[in-house]
Structure 1
Amino acid sequence: MSVVERYSAADPDAMHELGVAFGRRLGAGDLVILTGELGAGKTTFTRGLGEGLGVRGPVQSPTFVIARTHPSLVGGAPLIHVDAYRLADSSELEDLDLDFDGAVVVAEWGAGLVDARDSWVEIVIDRPIGAGDAAADDADDDVAEAPIEPRALTVTGHGPRWQNGVLA
Structure 2
Amino acid sequence: MNRIFLLLSLFLILAAGVAYYFLGGFKKADVTLETTAQPIFLAGRYFEGPANSEQFGDMTREAYEIRTSGKMRGTFGNIFYNDPAKASETAKVFVGLVVDDTVSQALPKGYRYRAFAAGQRVLHARIVASYLVAPDKLYTGVKAAAKEQDLTLHNVYLEKFPTTGPVEVWAVVK
Please indicate, yes or no, whether the TM-score normalized by the shorter chain is above 0.5: no
TM-score relative to the length of structure 2:
0.26
Q: Which has the higher helix share?
A: 2
Higher radius of gyration, 1 or 2: 2
TM-score scaled to structure 1, two decimals?
0.26
More strand by share: 2
Larger RCO, structure (CA 8 Å, separation 6 or more): 1
